[in-house]
Structure 1
């Protein structure tokens, strides 16, 4: 039985850690929210009072925390705790440069490192069907594959350290752009007096179909913006997209449009809402009262 220390039991981390327990791993979890730790214990895992306690003696240490500062803080806290040969897997979405820094910092300690951001939202985490894009060495990827297969459905190594984060940035660009277009489609159909429910059903079955239309169209029509993935986090991710574009010296004009829409939602006080709340932004731009 492989032992895993799992740090970060939020919207995504909690179901991922629980799925690892169900897959037969011995999981010890830590989160700043004690209720999240208690929930993992109730699911058959173990609880820890700190990140170092969760990582102590673990063969694999996984992190799923909100952003770059938290990743850097956890790595600094664990650098002298992790044993040589430990596999450190960061599921967080951060800048590629941060993932490269993590690899450089921990490899000096003899720790193997993978960046492995995920896509699929809260429901994908619950159902263990996440897409996982991995950066790092091929042998380390192979060693972590049983863990990835316990929490995801589509898993691929996409390059060296930091490469997973570049692919995740591309993913968030496509996701944000799709939400924006679905939002505008809803605004158009409703303003024209069309049955938007039937209209989106048709779109979902044709070439315009997507996972977003499949999973989120009914919630968007109902203006149910309870967070599966918050606007605040997508705002952070769009910053990563734009920074990656600058680093690669490429022009991504639509990325700037998507980033602007996400920023508008945040400026309107919707940072805690699901990213499908881009519908409210689209309604506001057309002078239609957001519901």
Structure 2
């Protein structure tokens, strides 16, 4: 691996490889593998999110709020206003869900601003010091969870499950089936309508499945591309800091925007699922 690290291709490959633990002894079974770095950082950032908001709630005061309380209240009010403007159903889950998605995805995206060599190198040194590995190059760590398609797909699948749940809860099973089979094309003649059912079902199924796919790929693609640029900048070596700073300033917009888009699309999809046409 040391020889591979000396090349640009090897350097990039090393930074884009997840630290993995196989769940089976079969080396050909790539499905039964855990990306431990993705799990550790995403769960850790989720716990940080809970701690931040819990501590802010415990220290909240009715008097003059502090700067930290003001910031938390601004985030909560921002998300709450977007939910009120976009979600047209009735559910106490949507606003907390939207807040969790926005802040959690933002924190995971924010890891992209940390210099790409810092945390992996630190993990490598710890691994060598503890005797877990012989060389620091044997340690793989991706610190931006949203650059892992497995995580963005898992988030999107969770949203997709909620879409199905709300569709059936609001419209009933028959209403949900009718929505998939009687739209977008309809006819007054029952025979013609029966002929249109396969076409409607195919189009509505594609539309339904496109929602989680687009959610996961959009977030993954934008953050993966941004991380790749940071890696290429880091490969320059001595003069990387000025370029890293310039790209980081621009990338802040991407980090916030992608968290906002994921949140808003989730609200829109759940609003559509909660509307009984």
TM-score category by the smaller chain?
A: under 0.3
Identify, as 1 or 2, the structure richer in helix.
Answer: 2
What is the TM-score normalised by the length of structure 1?
0.25
What is the TM-score normalised by the length of structure 2?
0.25
If asked which structure has higher relative contact order (CA below 8 Å, sep 6+), I would say 2
